[in-house]
């Protein structure tokens, strides 16, 4: 399959079981570049089982990223880890686990620059549009996203309220890709929906 020059990342939402997440991931896999397990309340054992569920459903190891848990990423030999503000320092993770791809969640240009200086491989920036998961926080919007992309030397993945109808505007800022939670996980037909994201994105280069 020939992908257009942008990535789709799918992030678990903490609502469905990781078994159900794996089932939906398997349907979308040909169109998705990375599946993130973001489950703050699960134990190490439960997270490892979650990774194993993805692998059993045919998701390649190089498409699996786990939030925060460097130990689980290392033990399961998956693609990498997504770090937040409470996680280990990026430079420590890169030094101790050089094989892992390391992403960093950022909310400003200064945080993105710091991630770059410490050796992150990419940044996840948001939230771009209003989203039920962050009802009390103002969205950052496309203007701020474009400012960050313009100065960042790292690939930027945009997250937050991204729907097929606004994909084009997001991609026109120059981001590397988009990250989606409810837009793909809370639909009964994830295959059709992920194709909609892909098709709308393709219009940017048509």
Give residue for tokens 């837009």.
183
Q: How far apart are CA 161 and CA 140, in angstroms?
A: 11
Residue 94: both structure tokens together: 């890169």
Q: Which of these ranges, 20-29, 70-79, 98-107, 127-136, has the smallest mean pLDDT? A: 127-136
Quick one: DSSP state of residue 103? E
What is the CATH T-level fold of the domain 7-201, as seen in this structure?
A: TIM Barrel (3.20.20)
> Locate tokens 């079981």: which residue?
17
Q: What is the mean pLDDT of residues 16-35?
A: 97
pLDDT of 41 over the 70 cut: yes
Structural tokens at position 175: 């981001």
Predicted local confidence at residue 206, as pLDDT: 73
Q: Which sign does the torsion angle of CA 141, 134, 185, 51 carry?
A: positive
pLDDT category, 115, cuts 50, 70, 90? very high
Q: Catalytic positions, please?
A: 127
pLDDT score of 138? 80
pLDDT exceeds cutoff 90 at 104: yes
Sequence-ordered strand ranges (E) for the chain: 7-11, 34-37, 64-67, 80-83, 101-106, 122-126, 156-159, 177-180
- Helix (H) / strand (E) element for 178: namely strand 177-180
CA distance 97 to 202: 35
User: What are the sequence ranges of the domains in the chain?
Assistant: 7-201
**Predicted confidence (pLDDT) at residue 205 exceeds the cutoff of 80:** no
Rounded CA separation 91/118 (Å): 5
Does pLDDT of 23 surpass 60?
yes
């Amino acid at each position: 399959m020939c992908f257009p020059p942008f990535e789709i990342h799918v992030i678990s939402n903490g609502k469905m079981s990781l078994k159900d997440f794996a089932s939906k991931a398997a349907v979308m896999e040909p169109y998705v570049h990375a599946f993130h397990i973001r489950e703050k309340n699960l134990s190490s054992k439960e997270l490892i089982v979650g990774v194993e569920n993805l692998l059993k459903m045919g998701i390649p190891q190089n498409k699996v990223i786990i939030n925060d848990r460097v130990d689980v990423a290392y033990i399961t030999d998956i693609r990498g880890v997504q770090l937040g503000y409470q996680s280990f320092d990026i430079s420590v993770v890169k030094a101790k686990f050089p094989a892992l791809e390391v992403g960093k969640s950022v909310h400003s240009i200064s945080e993105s620059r710091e991630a770059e200086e410490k050796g992150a491989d990419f940044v996840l920036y948001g939230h771009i549009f209003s989203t039920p998961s962050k009802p009390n926080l103002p969205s950052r919007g496309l203007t701020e996203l474009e400012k960050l992309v313009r100065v960042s030397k790292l690939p930027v993945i945009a997250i937050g309220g991204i729907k097929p109808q606004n994909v084009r505007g997001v991609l026109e800022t120059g981001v590397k890709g988009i990250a989606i939670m409810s837009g793909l996980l809370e639909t009964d037909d994830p295959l059709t929906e992920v194709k909609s994201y892909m098709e709308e994105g393709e219009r940017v280069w048509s």
